[in-house]
Amino acid sequence: MRVFQGARRLGRMQVRLQKFLADAGLASRRSGEKIILEGRVTVNGRPVLALGSKVDPMHDKVSLDGRLIKAQKKIYVALNKPVKYVCSHRDDLGRQLIYDLLPKEWQRVSSVGRLDYNSEGLIFLTNDGEFSLRLTHPRYGVRKKYLATVEGEVTPEMLRQFVRGVHDQGEMLRALSARIVTSGHSRSVVELELGEGKNREVRRLFESQDLVVKRLQRIQIGKIRLGELKPGKWRMLTATEIKTLKTLKNLVTDL
């Protein structure tokens, strides 16, 4: 059997076949390798069995199980998630989904990380798996800023403790920075910057000080700010913003 070894046309873009399958929304990189080894993929009518094979998305004809595959157009969206929406494609409790706020034809986009049901603010959605991984994996340490409205008075010593770190449920929770915006006996507003996305991390930090967060809003991811985007509204990320996010280095380990 002749094995296709990939396009070699001078000056044309080539990508690994596993990446092409992932970009088309048909498989993850790992499951794509399995599909290739099973002999289910052909390029220009020839079977592909080599995992290092490359294709030219603009000119090669890639088929899976005899069906022609077309690469998806990459979508990068910034959404101001309202409270009482969930970041899932379905919900057994019948709650509102963030995907209900987007055009119906964007069926393959997924949220980059999550905000819980009672949290609000900036969240990205995309069909680019590598982009999502870069913004969510702890090794990249992408910084995120939050505004927390807290019931009760927050003291500078509490914030110093947040930066030193708090042990909770076997995890170390830590803010990279924290500052009091306003503080009073009954209500305080605090800005926190985090480098990881542990489950309910901001709320758990305040719970460690017997304080309850009444409102939690994410206002920034990397260098991208929520700005004037209204709750429930979305916008496309600009090419410059996408490039900035894709090239972020691990800022946490550089401190």
The yes-or-no verdict on residue 10 having pLDDT over 70 is no
**Which run of H or of E encompasses 205?**
helix 201-207
Tokens of 89: 């494609």
- In CATH, the number for domain 143-221 is 3.30.2350.10
d(CA 244, CA 224) in angstroms, rounded, equals 9
* The pLDDT of residue 250 is above 80: no
| 13 pLDDT higher than 80 | no
Do 44 and 86 touch, CB atoms closer than 8 A? Answer: no
Find the range with the poorest average confidence among 27-41, 150-164, 188-202, 208-222.
27-41
Q: What is the pLDDT of residue 12?
A: 57
Residue 249 pLDDT class (50, 70, 90 cuts):
low
CATH number of 15-68: 3.10.290.10
Domain boundaries, the chain: 15-68, 77-138+227-246, 143-221
- pLDDT number for residue 30: 76
Task: Give the pLDDT of residue 31.
Answer: 81
Give the chain's length: 255
Q: What's residue 252's pLDDT?
A: 39
Confidence category of residue 164, pLDDT binned at 50, 70, 90: very high
- Rounded average pLDDT over 72-97: 95
Residues 231-240: what's their mean pLDDT? 97
Is 143-221 the same fold as 15-68?
no
What is the rounded (10 degree) CA torsion for 58, 59, 60, 61? 90
187 pLDDT above the threshold of 80: yes
The answer to whether residue 28 scores a pLDDT higher than 80 is no
Owner of token pair 């969206």: 77
pLDDT at 112: 95
Residues that are catalytic:
116
| Weakest mean pLDDT among 34-48, 77-91, 115-129, 238-252 | 238-252
CATH for 77-138+227-246 is 3.30.70.580
pTM over 0.75: yes
Chain segment 102-127, per-residue pLDDT in tens: 998 887 899 999 999 999 999 999 98
- Report the alpha-carbon distance of residue 101 to residue 77 in Å, rounded: 12
Coil vs helix vs strand at 95:
coil
